[in-house]
Amino acid sequence: MKRGRLVLGLTLSLCCFATPTFADDVAERLESIVVDSFDDPEQRVWVENSTEMKEARQWVVTGSKFATKEGDVQFPRLAHVEGDGTFPEALFGNNPNKLPLKALGVFAKYDRKGYNYYEMYAVKKDDKGNIVPAPIPLPGITKVIDLWVWGSNFKTSLEIHIRDYRGIPYVLSAGSLNYQGWKNIKVNVPTSIPQTQPYLPHYKGLLLTKFVVRTEPLERVDGFFTYFDHLKVLTDMHQNPFDGKNLLNADFVNKYFSSTQEGK
């Protein structure tokens, strides 16, 4: 009996030593990255891996069935606003450096109470000059989506819509906007949403497709405002090194395999 226990103990010990560790697979390099400040109506500017990035985009808003129309004016209306109060003081103080801070505002109005909503999403021009949706790529493996939202004490709620690399959409509840003034809203991204794959490139980020604001069915809807500012993510930017990593670089791929590249 003692000999059996000894053999079992030695076997377990050998298994422990033989089991490989995957420290690199679980390593993290968490960064807070602003993906849109809403300061520029024509483009978003952000910093990724110490490099300033720019991408053309505009924001648009569309309303549900009973959105009000007054003459030629269709609600909801969207505007980039600036000036006192148009940025969170908790974030920027009184803007001592006099930065050109702006926020994105929506003025919504509906003809009747009910399950009203509006959708706000980014667009850009394609190669033919057509306006097309431009979902915002979220860098790294996103852990938290973080933004500032100004509420006007109406019983409304916010949803954040994202899509994974397989094209599957998800809706993240950002909670009630039934409060006054600016508030920092943080939404955890469930680990069940895939952001990696076993093939190269391993890391497949999420796309932020739109924000949706919904009214409670008994809330008055004759006009309310919502403002958005400083969209950022807490994200894992760690990538395991391997020989030949530069072969995944987008510029390298476009140089040799773009549709305009002649075969040689």
Domains assigned to the chain = 27-238 (2.60.120.260)
What is the predicted pLDDT for the residue at 36?
96
What is the predicted pLDDT for the residue at 3?
52
What is the predicted pLDDT for the residue at 109?
98
Q: Which residue has the tokens 């004490």?
A: 153
**Token pair of 87, please?**
């940025």
Nearest to 156 by CA among 58, 81, 88, 76: 76
CA atoms within 13 A on the CB side of 178: 10
What is the predicted pLDDT for the residue at 15?
45
Strand pairing class (58-63; 207-215): unpaired
pLDDT tens-digit profile, the chain (264 residues): 445 554 444 444 444 444 333 334 567 889 999 999 999 999 998 887 778 889 999 999 999 999 999 999 999 999 999 998 899 999 999 888 888 899 999 999 999 999 999 999 999 999 888 999 999 999 999 999 999 999 999 999 999 999 999 999 999 999 999 999 999 999 999 999 999 887 877 788 999 999 999 999 999 999 999 999 999 999 998 876 678 777 877 778 788 887 765 544
Cα separation of 29 and 140, whole Å? 10
What is the predicted pLDDT for the residue at 261?
54
